[in-house]
Amino acid sequence: MKSKTIVLKFGGTSVGSIERIKIVSKIILSHKSKNTRIAVISSAMSGVTNELIKKSKSICNNFDHAEYDTLLSTGEQVACALIAGNLKSLGYNSRSWLSWQLPILTEGNYSNSRISNINTKNIKKYMKEGGIPIVAGFQGINSNFRITTIGRSGSDASAIMLAKFLNADECIIYTDVDGVYTTDPRMHKKAKKIKKIFYDEMLEMSSLGSKVMQPTSVQDAKLNKIDITVKSSFVKKNGTLITGSKKSFSDQIITGISSTKDDAKITIVGVKDKPGVAAAIFKPLSDNSINVDMVVQNISLNKKETDITFTIKADDLKKSEKLIRNNKKIQFKKLAFDKNLSKISIIGVGMITTPGITYRMFKSLAQKKINIMVISTSEIKISVLISNKDVKKAIACLHKEFNLD
């Protein structure tokens, strides 16, 4: 009988204490059978990565990038050693594997690298002999043999890429919720578990604030056609399948609602309405790695001047203001700011073929007297910028409007 390879990933809360490490070990062993080969990816114990970031900041604000990644990668090392050590104490063959020991190769900048290759030769042999490798998530090495990390929540991408390079039959992401919900179940009690969701919808939901899966990992899964099951390590329940397969999907128009917090808005009032101005505004922001999200430019009534509004993360507000004020390439009348904003998005492939969704979204927000500040759309999502204080109310009314309750 052909053997089956599965990759199991455990998130921070799942491995957040010694009790949890013991429970996770039991889950790993529950997958063990004569014909199953298991590889595990673990995150750091919950809170550890944040503590490490704090430590680097207490040294200085511009801590060395390479040392930052070396520091952050240690969280995963602890969790992997604890799981492997626990499995060994129970009499099983297991060992931890750090990225440089495989190796897991990455490309790109520190803190935000992407996995380009994983040498699976040694773990494949180990798995064939019945061993359970516990691989540190979130990290790799670059062409200078330095340790890199692959972005916050990156262990999700480690799991997908390990599944790809092992040619695994299954990839299960164990977390602290029992699947992907129509909206964050911690924000709205009536959120419902989704049985199956398309990669594209999951990608939009993740990118628009649904933290349950890291966006890069969903992109990697889509590119490599890897089905993902999201499940709870706390309760034994069926999870959610993230897939590209069109088999037995519901005909829901809207699949999910995502929200972000801590967005900010800048309006540059009275800039010259001529070619090149937008590029001149955004160049210094881009040079400083400030992520600009929604952008709107007003219609210029006198054809001489216009207003440009855009959103960024509130953390970047001060720096962005300084960059705009110091930008000699633009002239404007005034700058206006707004913080404590959120972006609410409705997502669903059903939107492509169903007219009237935008109207229904705006109408239900209007009925709740929620003011919309900026709007942006794509084929399968509509996002609006609103005040932080209206987020819960907005999620509740949209959840009801689109029959998700």
Q: Using CB under 6 A as the criterion, what x/- string covers residues 267-306 for binding ligand ADP?
A: ----------------------------------------
Q: How far is the CB of 50 from ligand ADP (least distance, A)?
A: 12
Min dist. Cβ of residue 398 to ligand ADP (A): 13
The whole-angstrom separation of Cα 140 and Cα 385 is 36
Helices (H), 179-300: 199-207, 215-223, 277-287
Shortest distance, CB of residue 138 to ligand ASP, whole angstroms? 4
| Tokens 């649904």 belong to residue | 210
Q: Which is nearer to ligand ADP, 19 or 129 (CB)?
A: 19
x-or-dash pattern for ligand ASP, window 355-384, by CB under 6 A? Answer: ------------------------------
Query: Which of 286, 278, 279 lies closest to 319 in space, CA to CA?
Result: 286
Q: C-beta of 203: minimal distance to ligand ADP in Å?
A: 13
Q: How far is the CB of 11 from Mg ion (least distance, A)?
A: 5
Q: Which is nearer to ligand ADP, 11 or 350 (CB)?
A: 11
Q: What beta strand segments (E) does 25-153 contain? A: 36-42, 94-97, 104-107, 114-118, 132-136, 139-141, 147-149
Q: Which does 94 bind (CB under 5 to 8 A by kind): ligand ASP, ligand ADP, Mg ion, none?
A: none
The torsion of the CA quartet 394, 231, 229, 379, rounded to 10 degrees, works out to 0
Query: For 86, phi and psi rounded to 5 degrees?
Result: -65, -45
Asked if 178 touches ligand ADP (CB under 6 A), the answer is: no
> Using CA atoms, how far apart are residues 146 and 70, in angstroms rounded to an integer?
8
Eight-class DSSP state of 181? B
Q: What angle do CA 360, 314, 401 make, to 5 degrees?
A: 15
Strand partners, 342: 386
| Candidate list 153, 216, 229, 383; residue touching Mg ion; CB under 5 A | 153
364 binds, among ligand ADP, Mg ion, ligand ASP, none (CB under 5 to 8 A by kind): none
Q: Which of 106, 158, 210, 243 binds ligand ADP (CB under 6 A)?
A: 210
Cβ of residue 173: shortest distance to ligand ADP, in angstroms?
7
Q: Does 138 bind ligand ASP (CB under 6 A)?
A: yes
Q: Which residue number places its CB atom closest to Mg ion?
A: 153
Q: Cα separations (Å) of 267 from 285, 294, 301, 304, 313?
A: 14, 12, 17, 17, 14
| DSSP 8-state code for residue 295 | E
Q: Which stretch binds ligand ASP (CB under 6 A): 22-30, 80-88, 146-154, 276-284?
A: 146-154
| Sign of the alpha-carbon torsion through 252, 239, 228, 182 | positive
The least CB distance from residue 12 to Mg ion, in Å, is: 7
- 395 lies in the site for ligand ADP, by CB under 6 A: no
Q: Which residue is nearest to ligand ADP (CB)?
A: 11
> Can you tell me the distance from the alpha carbon of 64 to that of 202, in angstroms, rounded to the nearest whole number?
34
Nearer to ligand ASP, 172 or 386 (CB): 172
Contact between residue 271 and residue 339 where contact means Cβ atoms under 8 Å apart: no
Q: For ligand ADP, which is the closer residue by CB, 134 or 177?
A: 177
Give the count of beta carbons closer than 10 Å to the beta carbon of residue 235.
Answer: 9
Distance of closest approach, residue 209 Cβ to Mg ion, in angstroms: 13
Q: Which among 23-31, 42-50, 128-136, 387-395 is the span making contact with ligand ASP, rule CB under 6 A?
A: 42-50
User: Which of 338, 389, 343, 390 minimizes the C-alpha distance to 364?
Assistant: 390
78/324 with CB nearer ligand ASP: 78
Contact of residue 141 among ligand ASP, Mg ion, ligand ADP, none (CB under 5-8 Å per partner type): none
Q: How far is the CB of 92 from ligand ADP (least distance, A)?
A: 23
Pairing between β-strand 4-10 and β-strand 104-107 as defined by DSSP bridges = unpaired
Judged by DSSP in three states, 61 sits in coil
Q: Which residues bind ligand ASP (CB under 6 A)?
A: 12, 43-44, 49, 75, 137-138, 152-155
